[in-house]
Structure 1
Amino acid sequence: MENTTQRLIPRSGLLQVATNYNRPSKEHFRYESRSDNKPSKMEVNRVFEKKFHYQKPKENTWQLPSPNEAFSEYYQFDTLQQLKPKLNDVKCKLNNYTIEDWSLHTRRQDPSNEIPWRLKNETKAEFVTVAWCKLFECLHAYPLVKGPHLNSLHLCELPGAFIAALNHYMYSTYKKEEVEWRWLSTTLNPYYEGNPTSGMITDDRFMFHTFDNWLMHDDFTGNIINRNHIEQMQEHCRKRLEDNVQLITADGSIDCVDAPDCQEEVVATLHFAELTAALCILADGGCFVVKMFTMFESTNVCKLFLLNCIFEEVHVFKPATSKRGNSEIYIICIGYRKQTKYLPELLQLMKENVGCANILPLFPRSYLPNDFFLQHEICARLFMNFQIEAIEANIQTYEVKPTRRQVIYKQHFRTETANEFYARYKVCSIAEQNKVLYGHQATEENCKSAPFCRGSYTEREMAKETTMEERIFSFHRYINNLEKILDFNYDIQFQEEYDTSTPELHIYRGAPFTELLSSLFAHPYVMQLHQKLKEMLNRDPIYMLKPNCIADDEEMQLNLNMHGYSLLPREYFIGLLDTIYEKQTRRIVLSNVAFLTHLSVSVLLSLALFVFGHLSISTGPNFQIELLAKCDKYTQDQMSALKRIRDLLAEDANVLCIMPIEKLHRNKFANTLMAYNNQLLMKNFKLALDN
């Protein structure tokens, strides 16, 4: 077969489509001369028409090769690789812009900026985010849902906006009594402290109320990049969705802000796992929506060829509400042909390669048809040019102060774009009782993305070469600002009385971890600071203040020299429970001890609920947590509770939590404990920097 990078003449229409999209319309440059200073209908429509449709040959020559040929050859396509530096040269123009100012500027310039606001405030839609808007567009622009009966699976889904958007679509498209929709989802689990903060979203507002619908696998990580976990998801879908998943979405990504030129390579392993999971689980005739970015690498070329071989239609779509200057696109796959020749054997091979660091292209170079590659190249150029055009326009408006007419025009453009969104997608409100979280109290986001990525790319790169003294000074300055932002300058005094009762335990099991990488029992800003300090100091800064424990009047040794200091050792809790059981201890005082894991917090709360009956938390004058028994002698139920908890910890190393998740978050106890941990950790961090 001829070299697939050879320049070919496309079939009629393909090149013309790309040309029309690549060049801004004449109207785009004439807006200032319009008498009404408003965008034309053509300009508004252009925001919504960033699309590409792969045209399959009538002869059906796009077919899967034998699985024996899979993962057998490494190669790249020269014409696609030449596009990478062209795009990166434009991205490099952003290197000296501070990320805070640039992000604010691009949001203001985005013509779709008004849409989320109107959905929240006028339509009163549930859990609206930009991701909500993007899926809502996909659902209306393509026939992804065939009727009111639907089973769906959502990969890499936190915080849950795709689920809320699909729910709104279902109940605004079909009558309430017609809708029969079941869904499952998976994501990196924010309740598992072995998952890194930098690699996951920690906003659990939606998950907290729908936790039973989230698949966290047998290790409780929620990590999709694991063959066993994909097979476990298959089994759950067989049992709970009757092996009939008609729609799968995959919105996964990895933060590439410090590697903007390598985004495609960084997310390749995740996207391969998403693709494998979806194709193993999706029902025949089903639809698949997956987020991707640029498509220059041979591995992505092969993924797109695979999708074209096994789906009736494959579209590439950049929603109007997707930020114009990024590389984000959505691959829309319609009509899964699950019985395609060689597909079952190929999926088995793909599962075996999930998690491999360096995955070769799926197919040999010679098996990719020239007509497919030509279309793919046109598609890659098309969306690259969309991005370049947006970046260049944003730079121009950033550097040159806009005129009054330009400001008014942008305002009109945003309004007209929002009007078109509402008209094109027939947006309407749905009844409160049809919302996913109906009946649950609204909760605020307490886990926003941490602000460690600040300044310009150039400044962040230069900071890597600074001296230790300069970095310490920078951390002190950051800590001072963080204390102001989070308002840490107050003493915590918390007391709670409980009527001791028979234990209502809920056991969560998973893979044990030996290092604390995240925690929802401290603010995300604080936890990211913890990770950065640990990397810089080569030691854990959590326990600079010496922790201790007093049981009645006897001090207990609290050995934290194991498990990297961050974790309260399981062995310690077993010893503490033994002491309480044997001596019927009336009072426990823990000083300078941070409770950061679900295991430690659930043990603490279970002791308060089932044994002691009184819990107090204070930060002044010392950091102390006190458990105080309300009676002089333990009852048989209290002794039984102590023994049961102790045996659980001693006999099963996979126990990660012993209380229901809903009792450990978003209540007065949880909020107080988080504030206590925040202040204690920040004090330790400052001591670590000073020593």
Structure 2
Amino acid sequence: MHKNDYGFLQSRHKHHKRHQDEEFDEELNTLFNKKFRFRFDSDWKLPPADAWFSAPPWKVKELETLKSRLNFHKSQLNDFDIEEWSSHTRRRNPSGEVCWKIRCLVNPEFLTQAWTKFYECASSYRIIPSEAVISREMVSLHLCEAPGAFITSLNHYLKQNYEEIEWKWLANTLNPYYEGNSPGNMISDDRFMLHTLQHWHFGTDNTGNLMDWTNSQAIVKDANKLGKVLLATADGSIDCVQKPDAQEEATSPLHYCETVTALQALSPGGTFVFKLFTTFEHSTVGLLYLLNHLFGEVNIYKPVTSRQGNSEVYAICLQYKGSDQLKEYLPKLKSAYGTNLYSDKSLFSLENIPETFIKQVEECAYYFSSLQCQVINNNLQAYLMQNSIPFAIDVKKLRSVVAAEFIRQYDMRPLDYEQEVLKGVLHEENKVNTNPRYHRGSYTKRQLYAKMTLKEKCKSLSGFLQTDILNLLIFIQETIRWKCFYDKDVEIDTVFTYGLPLQKVNSSKFIFVPIFKLYQQILAEEEFVNVIRGQSNDTKLLDVIGEKLFLPDLENGESYNDYEKRCFSILLVSLRNLPLGESLILTNFATLTHFNISVLYVLSKKCFEKTGFSSDAIILSNMLSKQGLQILKDVENECVSGRECGTGTQDVWNFLPVRMTNVGDFFGSIVLYNNTFYRNRCVDYLDLLEQTLCNNEQV
């Protein structure tokens, strides 16, 4: 019998020596045991299928009172600068040294806070089903998983405790390589994903949008092809910094889609672990009632490494009774999947949910919301007592004790590189995250932005250009930064990627996202656009001899995929007519999408001696060969044939593997160029706007 199965209900770690200092025993017991378990009553019954999603939304008075109480405590933070407050709570976080301690003593693969949270879930509950232990086989499905730390954490847990299990996995998340996805809803950190793309499923439209039913069904189908899915996880969320009082309402539709997908994929006996927040709303209450019928055990758990001051908890659902239980209800579940029906109706009417279950939800909500309120109050008091030295010493000592207890309680040990998913690769990489979570100012100030005058908005946006997050970046300083990528012997094989046609560029892997967000925010103001429109962006490259190609602007109402392919055709005509030995100056050539980056990669590698990057143009210098034009001609043919034969639901996104274009000096040069180009555009636009607004005041 495996060591994790023998006497599991007794203490797993009683043979370990606990810390000598008993000063923090009560605090540790609270931190490591924030748990609630639902007690199933055999009298509870699911209503008939025709009653599902038939009643309007409802509220429970006691839950509404708890919600108001929590929102009152959270509202006390409205006027605090978010950066300053986050810095304060990080110092106050009892688990703040856990990752550092684990990195020093264990050095696991792709260690993040998500890594530690999942490891806690795995170690605190029997999430590996007995069938997996007996059969020595297991498939896991990870939904909304980016950047992938749950996967590396699971691998570490399995190798340390169940090494004999043959494990396969499939993951889904919003596709970071699709520029139509919003950076606010997507984690674009692809350090792990880039090396494991064969395990990632982005659905039939390649966007990764799990809230699309067709995508969900494709993921379920492919997961089941791997074998019995005995573990499903879902760690999805939505950036709610602009609506902290409505986090549960904002994220509930996503949690519903995660749950319905997992329930279809899981095999009997399987485990489902998913993130949720508060349990005040009818949507969460109904979902938990359903899960209590489908699993032998449902727990709500807040890991010690989950920030104490937030609402995040994890539902740990064990011993799945099987998808056969769902068959008669599946049409109803589908009808609300990713639709307005989920918001307009409740999964179950309040009358169909027993009072005894509601009471348990109230008990659960009271427990976790009270913990959060207490932490917020403690942090506020500590903020007002920042100069209290004894107070600071107590926190520092507690952090050290919590980190030591984490290592002890979960019996953490290092793995050999050969046991890791990527065999040590991630330990060697130092890739920069171009999309950090970054917000400025207080909640109150961010809400006031919409009510500001244009001059005040202009001043607020200009202030961002002076922040540390931009001042620490490197930009192109020289007139032209030359790079030699040319390699006549390099093999370039086209690998076409298709997906939902790109309507608008919302994100990009080739720019520091806060810069692009600022650029988008400027252009989001119609009055600003009216001032900017018509201004010349002509580039002045007096020292460069060559043909200048100024590509057209995006037309009003034109979809980006049509615009991109139109510019591509214009570029190809110029390249075919360009004599060998000549240079081409590209202006207005957008370098935010994988399609255009792949075009530039082919030209830089196969056609031109060197590539120059200025602050506002790209120079392809000295055409040595037209060999690469045949590759681009094939791409053009594929784009045309796809449009002629297709239904308009698929388009060519890319034709080179991202592992070719998104690494090394070429990738770094593109990011540097985009950072410089869009930062300078923002500076120019804001200077122009400020000058125009001042002139208007004087008239």
TM-score interval for Structure 1 and Structure 2 normalised by the shorter chain: 0.7 to 0.9
Q: Aligned-pair distance for 1:174?
A: 2.8
Partner AA of 2:105 in structure 1: E
Q: Aligned-pair distance for 1:487?
A: 2.7
Partner AA of 1:648 in structure 2: E
The correspondence for 2:659, drawn from 646, 658, 662, is 662
Q: Aligned-pair distance for 1:582?
A: 5.9
In 2, Cα distance between the equivalents of 1:549 and 1:560? 20
Q: Which moved more, 1:567-576 or 1:429-438?
A: 567-576
Cα deviation 1:443-464 (Å, max 9, x = unaligned): 3342254565211112222333
TM-score between the two structures when normalised by the length of structure 1: 0.88
2:495 maps to: 506
Q: Percent identity?
A: 32
In 2, Cα distance between the equivalents of 1:549 and 1:158? 42
In 2, Cα distance between the equivalents of 1:285 and 1:458? 48
Partner AA of 1:603 in structure 2: V
Shift of the 489–569 alpha-carbon distance from structure 1 to 2, 3 Å rule, reads: closer
Q: Which moved more, 1:116-125 or 1:326-335?
A: 116-125
Cα deviation 1:504-542 (Å, max 9, x = unaligned): 011110011121101111111112112212212464979
Q: Aligned-pair distance for 1:500?
A: 4.9
Q: How does 1:279-298 map to 2 (within 5 A)?
A: 279-298=263-282
C-alpha contact 1:544 1:684 (8 A) present in aligned 2: no
Cα deviation 1:409-439 (Å, max 9, x = unaligned): 2222112211221121111111112112225
The correspondence for 2:310, drawn from 320, 326, 331, is 326
Residue aligned with 1:40, SS: helix
In 2, Cα distance between the equivalents of 1:485 and 1:583? 40
Cα deviation 1:195-244 (Å, max 9, x = unaligned): 111221121111111111111122221110111111111221132x13x1
2:602 maps to: 606
C-alpha contact 2:476 2:614 (8 A) present in aligned 1: no
In 1, Cα distance between the equivalents of 2:54 and 2:177? 39
Q: Which moved more, 1:539-548 or 1:276-285?
A: 539-548
The correspondence for 1:135, drawn from 118, 133, 155, is 118
Partner AA of 1:222 in structure 2: G
Partner AA of 1:561 in structure 2: L
Q: Aligned-pair distance for 1:37?
A: 8.6
In 1, Cα distance between the equivalents of 2:667 and 2:507? 16
1:314 maps to: 298
Residue aligned with 2:339, SS: coil
C-alpha contact 1:123 1:428 (8 A) present in aligned 2: yes
Structure 2 regions of 5+ residues with no counterpart?
Answer: 1-19, 644-650, 690-699
Q: How does 1:171-190 map to 2 (within 5 A)?
A: 171-175=159-163, 178-190=164-176
The alignment of Structure 1 onto Structure 2 pairs a total of residues equal to 643
In 1, Cα distance between the equivalents of 2:424 and 2:27? 42
Residue aligned with 1:497, SS: coil
In 1, Cα distance between the equivalents of 2:62 and 2:600? 61
The correspondence for 1:82, drawn from 47, 65, 85, is 65
Cα deviation 1:278-309 (Å, max 9, x = unaligned): 11111111000111111111111100000000
In 2, Cα distance between the equivalents of 1:330 and 1:510? 33
Residue aligned with 2:298, SS: strand
In 1, Cα distance between the equivalents of 2:666 and 2:266? 42
In 1, Cα distance between the equivalents of 2:423 and 2:344? 44
C-alpha contact 1:234 1:281 (8 A) present in aligned 2: yes
In 2, Cα distance between the equivalents of 1:80 and 1:673? 51
C-alpha contact 1:188 1:195 (8 A) present in aligned 2: yes
Shift of the 455–579 alpha-carbon distance from structure 1 to 2, 3 Å rule, reads: closer
2:53 maps to: 71
Shift of the 451–44 alpha-carbon distance from structure 1 to 2, 3 Å rule, reads: closer
Say yes or no: does 1:167 pair with 2:155.
Answer: yes
Shift of the 638–131 alpha-carbon distance from structure 1 to 2, 3 Å rule, reads: closer
C-alpha contact 2:547 2:584 (8 A) present in aligned 1: no
C-alpha contact 1:153 1:249 (8 A) present in aligned 2: yes
In 1, Cα distance between the equivalents of 2:363 and 2:435? 36
Cα deviation 1:516-573 (Å, max 9, x = unaligned): 1011111111121122122124649799624799999655452223366977621121
Residue aligned with 2:184, SS: helix
Shift of the 288–591 alpha-carbon distance from structure 1 to 2, 3 Å rule, reads: same
Q: How does 1:362-511 map to 2 (within 5 A)?
A: 362-401=347-386, 403-438=388-423, 440=425, 442-447=428-433, 449-450=435-436, 453-481=439-467, 483-488=470-475, 490-491=477-478, 492-500=481-489, 503-511=492-500
Shift of the 681–639 alpha-carbon distance from structure 1 to 2, 3 Å rule, reads: closer
C-alpha contact 1:189 1:195 (8 A) present in aligned 2: yes
Q: How does 1:339-378 map to 2 (within 5 A)?
A: 341=325, 343-357=326-340, 358-378=343-363
Shift of the 381–445 alpha-carbon distance from structure 1 to 2, 3 Å rule, reads: farther
Q: How does 1:230-245 map to 2 (within 5 A)?
A: 230-239=216-225, 241-242=226-227, 244-245=228-229
1:623 maps to: 617
Q: Aligned-pair distance for 1:339?
A: 5.1
Q: Aligned-pair distance for 1:392?
A: 0.9
Shift of the 557–42 alpha-carbon distance from structure 1 to 2, 3 Å rule, reads: closer
Structure 1 regions of 5+ residues with no counterpart?
Answer: 1-35
Partner AA of 2:595 in structure 1: L
1:11 maps to: none
C-alpha contact 1:549 1:555 (8 A) present in aligned 2: no
In 2, Cα distance between the equivalents of 1:231 and 1:497? 44
Q: How does 1:3-82 map to 2 (within 5 A)?
A: 39-57=23-41, 60-74=42-56, 75-82=58-65
Partner AA of 1:200 in structure 2: M
Q: Aligned-pair distance for 1:43?
A: 2.0
Q: Aligned-pair distance for 1:330?
A: 0.5
Q: Aligned-pair distance for 1:153?
A: 0.7
Say yes or no: does 1:559 pair with 2:540.
Answer: no
Q: How does 1:76-155 map to 2 (within 5 A)?
A: 76-146=59-129, 147=133, 149-155=137-143
Shift of the 254–339 alpha-carbon distance from structure 1 to 2, 3 Å rule, reads: closer
Shift of the 549–490 alpha-carbon distance from structure 1 to 2, 3 Å rule, reads: closer
Residue aligned with 2:211, SS: coil
Q: Which moved more, 1:466-475 or 1:406-415?
A: 406-415
Q: Which moved more, 1:164-173 or 1:557-566?
A: 557-566
C-alpha contact 1:215 1:222 (8 A) present in aligned 2: yes
In 2, Cα distance between the equivalents of 1:522 and 1:305? 44
Partner AA of 1:119 in structure 2: I
Shift of the 618–315 alpha-carbon distance from structure 1 to 2, 3 Å rule, reads: same
Residue aligned with 1:64, SS: coil
C-alpha contact 1:574 1:649 (8 A) present in aligned 2: no
The correspondence for 1:590, drawn from 563, 586, 589, is 586
1:27 maps to: none
Q: Which moved more, 1:432-441 or 1:326-335?
A: 432-441
In 2, Cα distance between the equivalents of 1:88 and 1:194? 33
Root-mean-square deviation over aligned CA pairs = 2.6
Shift of the 609–390 alpha-carbon distance from structure 1 to 2, 3 Å rule, reads: same
In 2, Cα distance between the equivalents of 1:548 and 1:285? 67
The correspondence for 2:520, drawn from 531, 549, 561, is 531
Q: Which moved more, 1:391-400 or 1:581-590?
A: 581-590
Q: Aligned-pair distance for 1:469?
A: 0.8
Shift of the 628–439 alpha-carbon distance from structure 1 to 2, 3 Å rule, reads: farther
In 1, Cα distance between the equivalents of 2:209 and 2:99? 30
Q: Aligned-pair distance for 1:590?
A: 0.8
Cα deviation 1:659-684 (Å, max 9, x = unaligned): 01101112100100110111111112
C-alpha contact 1:136 1:165 (8 A) present in aligned 2: yes
In 2, Cα distance between the equivalents of 1:276 and 1:544? 52
Residue aligned with 1:394, SS: helix
In 2, Cα distance between the equivalents of 1:496 and 1:389? 58
1:545 maps to: 537
Partner AA of 2:537 in structure 1: L
C-alpha contact 2:546 2:585 (8 A) present in aligned 1: no
1:33 maps to: none
